[in-house]
Structure 1
Amino acid sequence: MTTYAALLRGINVGGNKKVPMAELRTLLQGLGYGGVATYLQSGNAVFTSDHGDEQSLAAEVGQAIEKRFGFTVDVLVRDHAYLKAVREACPFPAAELEAKQLHVTYFSGPVDAERFASLDQPAFLPEEFRLGDRALYLYAPDGLGRSKLGETLARPRLLKGIVATSRNWNTVVKLEELTGA
């Protein structure tokens, strides 16, 4: 059995795309997954499965959500090894920062620096970002809600053709811990 985290994008935000966590747990159990748990209300679930891979599991969860709730939700599924590698590869001093200052955006596939080449990164200082393996690390000293760089990085033209969903550092750490238990 492999333990995975499902990262749902854009649910339970501003009253849109409501997915109660109890119903999400029931839905995942109905798909035959074990050890199902959710974390927060923002679309984080942990489960075990002995079939499929990240991509097929994400598709299965997304289809089940659409069937149950009547709307589409982008879903990324990542295993414990990947989540641990993302945490360990953080290019910023995570232990010295507040969780609201550090975020990881998970991508559905590889992203190269060329995608962000048009950004004038020095114009956003002290905010910074670094790319990782299917991830982007964002340091925003005043938090994501006030981040001009975060807002710019979320523009559809930069994310064209790729699913992206962000988590603050506390959630990054917690999901790695929950999938490793």
Structure 2
Amino acid sequence: MSTQRQVALLRGVNVGRAKRIAMADLRKVLGDLGFSGVRTLLNSGNAVFDCPGGDAARSAERIEEALVLKLGVGARVTVLDAQQLAEVVAANPLLEQAVDPSRLLVAVLSNPADRVKLEPLAHQPWQPEAFALGQWAAYIWCVDGVLASRAAAAMGNLLGDAVTTRNWSTVTKLHALAMEA
């Protein structure tokens, strides 16, 4: 059976006091699920691993279950394969205007079919912010910061926990990890 490199994004982990998970515990949970080569990035629920079989949606379900059963933490998990993450990076249309990578958000969709719900946002005037859609993610330039972003708030209102965001710096680091041999 072939393996596939995957990237797991845990929503809301280690933000504030809720949903605290040590990355060593996350690596152990993923290893116990049969994933190999598990590496985590930062302390916010980002993991890269190799998965036998390669069904990203099934990996997400298994990780969500294991987090509750093994660590007592309920968190929405989104999994992309390495190629999908590469497409997210390559498709970012906001790089020219987004001069601060910490204010450029990538909102990864748990279900790509939810993209349709976000299409109206892509046609609204957000200046000085910007909002764009790709196949697997939305891109939001939060010029005045994430908490002040009208576009980010509108997206959150539409999708709730069906989307998880990472800033551009984190996404590019995850991409580099996912591309390592």
Q: TM-score, normalised by structure 2?
A: 0.89
Structure-2 residue corresponding to 1:82: 84
Partners of 1:33 and 1:48 within 8 A in 2: yes
1:87 is displaced (CA, Å) by: 0.5
Q: What is the correspondence of 1:130-169 to structure 2 with a 5 Å cutoff? A: 130-155=132-157, 158-159=158-159, 163-169=162-168
> Among residues 30, 33, 51, which one is paired with 2:32 in the alignment?
30
Partners of 2:103 and 2:145 within 8 A in 1: yes
Q: Compared with structure 1, are the counterparts of its residues 118 and 129 closer, same or farther at alpha carbon in structure 2 (3 Å cutoff)?
A: closer
* Unmatched runs of 5 consecutive residues or more in structure 1: none
SS of the counterpart of 2:131? strand
Number of residues of Structure 1 aligned to a counterpart in Structure 2: 177
Moved >6 Å (runs of 4+): none
SS of the counterpart of 1:12? coil
Partners of 1:94 and 1:102 within 8 A in 2: no
Q: CA RMSD in A?
A: 2.1
Partners of 2:104 and 2:139 within 8 A in 1: yes
1:149 is displaced (CA, Å) by: 2.2
- Counterpart residue type for residue 59 of structure 2: L
Q: Compared with structure 1, are the counterparts of its residues 119 and 91 closer, same or farther at alpha carbon in structure 2 (3 Å cutoff)?
A: closer
Inter-partner Cα distance in structure 2 for 1:6 and 1:17: 16
1:77 is displaced (CA, Å) by: 0.8
Structure-1 residue corresponding to 2:175: 176
* Unmatched runs of 5 consecutive residues or more in structure 2: none
Per-residue Cα deviation, 1:54-93 (whole angstroms, up to 9, x for no partner): 0001111111101012232110111110000110011112
1:101 is displaced (CA, Å) by: 2.4
Partners of 1:105 and 1:164 within 8 A in 2: yes
Partners of 2:40 and 2:47 within 8 A in 1: yes
Structure 1 residue 66 corresponds to structure 2 residue 68: yes
Partners of 1:35 and 1:48 within 8 A in 2: yes
